Chains A and B, each alone.
Chain A
Amino acid sequence: MQTKELARSSAQQASASLDHALHIVAGVLVVALLSTVTAGIVSRGVRHPLSWTDELSGFLMVWLACAGWMIATRRNAHIRIRFFQDLLPDTARRGFEVLIQVGVALLGTIVAWKSIHLMQTNSDVEAVSLPIATAWMYVPLFPAGVLTAMQALSEIMAILKGRDTRGPTPMPGPVA
């Protein structure tokens, strides 16, 4: 019993640490993106345009999108239509949710797995204006895919253990 509680407590701590680390990385990426775009404007304004700002901001955008994807996954906030699923009886709803989470896990696994292939094939292709390989653009897809798959598997485990699967209410439409 004590071992189980210890394991649960460790898992919760690891989960909180992961969230904290994700928040720090995401915050840094937002600041870096704003700074890079601003550097492009300022350097052009003083007639010494920097050649690398557009390309770096493109790379940062990929990283930020993936970091945001991971945060939204952790918060169970991705946009989905629950209207029809909620009309189902409890057992059917849970069954559907397991199938949905299998789909989520499949997508996450494939994105993570194939991103390794992309990193390998682009490892010797240098970026145009930056002294780095274009493989760096594909790096954040790996943790994003792994986290998506892991989260889905954890949801499946929870459903099979009988936990309510509705989770927190998703955020309202972000661009609406």
Chain B
Amino acid sequence: MIGLMIKVSGAWLAVILAGMPLYVSMGLAALAMLWLGGMPVTVLPQKMAGSMNSFPIIAAPLFILMGNILAAAQVTDRIVAFASAAIGWVRGGYAHASILTSMIFAGMVGSAVADAAGSGAIEVRAMTKAGYRPETAASITAAAATIGPIIPPSLPMVIYGITADVSIGRLFMAGVIPGILMGLSLMVMVALIAKREGMTGKPFVGWCALAQSFRDCFFAIMTPAVILGGMFSGYFTPTEAAAVACLYALFLGFVVYRTLEVRQLGPILVETAETTGLVMVLVMAASALGWCMSISRLPQTLAPMIVATISSPIMFLLMANVLMLIVGCFMEALAAMLILIPILVPAAIGFGIDPVQFGVIMVLNLILGTIHPPIGVVLFVVTRIAGVSFETMSRAILPWLIPLLVVLLAISIWPPLTLWLPSVLTGK
């Protein structure tokens, strides 16, 4: 059975690289396993539907909906104004403001692409207007956008939590410190190169203007407080927190800021459904394939082999990091996650690594692939915004990967960076 699984996996990877839609390649691999293994093919649609009939997974479309509502309500402009007023006056202030904007925005949307697309245009324009090179401005925006899926809420963490059977609430809390560290490390990088690159700041706007900009975006900034506060006070589950966050986003758009119109709701709902479909059809197919893998006992066989071959947990984490970074360069983050979870998570548990810590490491690794060629989707987005060539961006982004890799290394070798906050808040 394992031999069959390995053969099917080889053919499956070949068709992925040949350009087959990822969900189709997963579905056909599961189909081949079922058919060649003499099992009923009906298992395929049964597992596909069964994987969706779960309460925790409903958090995914609701967080997508919340992000779409907030984007349509144009809260980004207010956050950019506040970040500029708060930190724009130091050397390299526009870059610092861009990073701070992404950190705040990360608490509202759980996606790097949404972050880059939502606030990227304003940030890049402000930086280039201040004399920053377009590729530097775009690189800073892209690097800062990777904070989006690390600070909660985070769509990749919801998917990881469901697939690896890990508490989504603990994963969310585990992302807070690494997300802040990512922002701070990027700010240190800006401070180091600001003088050499001639990065300017703008005059301090004054305390009154700063207070006014804070008031303007206060309710938007409160979104993560609503989500996390509700979850950790015991009022809501993560799924219910996502629903409350959607209602809060509607309240912001229609009542507080009055920037949302009823006619915008139709496209928001359809876009939410489409993104949900794109993500969920992958989860459905991966679920069927995952079932085939567990029947073939592939993870149960591979995990002890990995544990026996690699000498220590740290060595395993370093090797897993390298593997995930390479995979992340060539594969879309969600697909890579769904493929790697059944193999790497049991091995990580075998080494005594907390699956929550491993989840944050995995998400960060794969998100770094989004700002790295050849399939860096965030890189594509900022390239279009900044109007620079993809080749230029591919070179310009490289130095900005260094601080993020340092954070990745830190959370890999020092578990309290990820596990301290969840243990304090949940008592586990």
Measuring CB to CB, which residues of chain A are less than 8 angstroms from any residue of chain B? 23, 26-27, 29-31, 33-34, 37-38, 40-41, 54, 57-59, 61-62, 64-72, 75, 77-85, 96-97, 99-100, 103-104, 106-107, 110-111, 114-115, 117-118, 137-138, 141, 145, 171-176
Contact = CB atoms under 8 A, between A and B. Distances in A.
Given A78-B281, A83-B330, A115-B49, 19 more contacts: A23-B270, A27-B269, A29-B273, A62-B52, A65-B284, A66-B277, A67-B273, A67-B277, A69-B281, A70-B277, A78-B23, A78-B278, A79-B22, A81-B17, A103-B15, A103-B25, A107-B31, A175-B279, A176-B377
A68 B18 contact: no
Nearest to B236: A41
A176 B111 contact: yes
B375 interface: yes
Contact of A80 (B20, B111, B239, B270): B20
B174 to A, nearest CB: 18
Contacts of B28: 103, 106-107
Contacts of B65: 30, 34
Which of A64, A171, A175 neighbours the largest number of chain B CB atoms within 10 Å of its CB? A175
Given A68-B274, A72-B274, A79 B381 contact: no
Contact of A141 (B49, B159, B240, B279): B49
Contact of B375 (A65, A67, A81, A171): A81
A69 B61 CA distance: 13
B334 A173 contact: yes
B278 A176 contact: no
B207 to A, nearest CB: 38
Contacts of A173: 113, 332-334, 370, 377
A66 to B, nearest CB: 8
Contact of B54 (A27, A61, A110, A145): A61
A111 B48 contact: yes
Contacts of A26: 269-270, 273-274
A66 B48 CA distance: 10
Given A100-B19, A110-B31, A81 B276 contact: no
A141 B273 contact: no
B52 A65 contact: yes
Contacts of B380: 172
A175 B334 contact: yes
Interface stretch (B39-47, B95-103, B177-185): B39-47
Nearest to B269: A27
B21 interface: yes
A117 B274 CA distance: 27
B163 to A, nearest CB: 12
3 pairs of A and B residues whose beta carbons are closest in the complex: A68-B277, A26-B273, A85-B19
A175 B243 contact: no
B272 interface: yes
A65 B277 contact: yes
A175 B155 contact: yes
Contacts of A174: 64, 111, 113, 155, 275, 278-279, 334
